[in-house]
Amino acid sequence: MKIGLVAGEASGDVLGAGLIRAVRARIPNAVFEGVAGPEMTAAGCEQWEPSESLAVMGIVEPLAHIPRLLRLRRGLAKRWRESPPDVFIGIDAPDFNLGLEIKLRKAGIKTAHYVSPSIWAWRPGRVKKVKKAADRVLCILPFEPALYEGHGVKAVFVGHPKAHEAPEIVDMEAARLRLGLDAGEVVAVMPGSRSGEVSRIGGIVAAAAREVFAARPGVRFVTPVAMPKLRPMIEQQLDEAGVAEQFILLDGDSELAMSAADVVLQASGTAVLEAALLRKPTVATYRVSPLTYWIARRLVKLEHFTLPNLLTEQPLVPEFMQQNALPGPIAAEVVALLDDPERRRSISERFDRLRAELALDADQHAADSVIELARR
């Protein structure tokens, strides 16, 4: 069996690697090829192009990359039409992959799209393009298949891979012991994993930490630095806020930082769900460029921005976005959580149920669906 894949960004690379391992456990001689990152390559995928080639963020920012991405998509379509795989899987990156899937499906190649585009958030009309592109959509959020039912699109909920990976028991004491922290209050501060995020958000959360420390002088802060190149920027922001001595900076290891924390303060994104899966009360904030925000507000039709708030009956993650991303209100919410152990316990219990709802072994369920599609 030959499987073609295109994964965009690091998250897609991790999904693809898990899928490859699960398929190979069932079909040891399966062949994998396409656009892959280091995780997929290590799992046995022949890399034609690195995943980072597709890692272009924002609404306005990708425009300069369009000619290169169109050339890449044409080249991939030509190569797979000449030597067809049994099934092609586009992993996330819908703006790139849906167009490629349409080309391949017209050539008679079976296609699956892994991770539904956020049609529930913006551009709901994309469901028509998905219908043209994919024989099957592999969804990682439980409410998504129902959105496709009325459009005649086969969609299955496979579970969320991060929920399956999350530990059943979070040992806060062990995490603090590893960090050399005592039994006092701890806040994990996570300003993002990209330079643009840290430059926009890092100063805000550092200033918020200063106000939290003023209200709770015994509190300690832990920040996992996502990439070495971000450390100088984060250190400067903490120095300017006057809180560098209250911070422990780690080289990555966000799970350790969050496991040790009573409360997490972080940039809105995938990491907010990761914090929820670790049962951690969280405060989220985010800023983008003014033009990107202006466009997004006209396209995105959501009351809440963080995934946990879309997956629970009541919003449990306070959100401070764009002009509301101010140190004072953010710090006040963090302090309010520190002041209320019963509220933290209630949030943790609901997040524990959320983990169970999402933890279905996504790798295995996705592999089952892909193999069945390829053999149809």
pTM attached to this predicted model:
0.81
CATH annotation of 2-159+360-375: 3.40.50.2000
Domains 2-159+360-375 and 172-358 share a fold: yes
CA–CA dist 26, 153 (Å, integer): 27
Q: How confident is the model at residue 59 (pLDDT cuts 50, 70, 90)?
A: very low
Averaged over 127-141, what is the pLDDT? 96
CA–CA dist 362, 186 (Å, integer): 32
Domain limits, the chain: 2-159+360-375, 172-358
Averaged over 223-252, what is the pLDDT? 96
Task: List pLDDT tens digits, range 176-198.
Answer: 999 999 889 999 999 998 888 89
Averaged over 29-36, what is the pLDDT? 97
Q: What is the pLDDT of residue 314?
A: 93
Q: What is the pLDDT of residue 66?
A: 79
- Stronger pLDDT, 150 or 31, i.e. the higher one: 31
* β-sheet bridge partners, residue 5: 34, 89
Averaged over 51-65, what is the pLDDT? 62
Q: What percent of the chain has pLDDT over 90?
A: 77
Measure Cα distances from 204 to 24, 284, 329 in Å: 46, 12, 11
- Stronger pLDDT, 57 or 276, i.e. the higher one: 276
Averaged over 235-241, what is the pLDDT? 98
The answer to whether residue 301 scores a pLDDT higher than 80 is: no
Q: Are 112 and 88 in contact (CB under 8 A)?
A: yes
Q: How confident is the model at residue 60 (pLDDT cuts 50, 70, 90)?
A: very low
Q: What is the pLDDT of residue 286?
A: 87
CA–CA dist 256, 28 (Å, integer): 35
CATH annotation of 172-358: 3.40.50.2000
pLDDT, mean over the chain: 92
Place of tokens 């780690």: 250
Q: How confident is the model at residue 291 (pLDDT cuts 50, 70, 90)?
A: low
The answer to whether residue 362 scores a pLDDT higher than 60 is: yes
Q: What is the pLDDT of residue 269?
A: 81
Task: List pLDDT tens digits, range 257-275.
Answer: 999 999 999 998 888 999 9
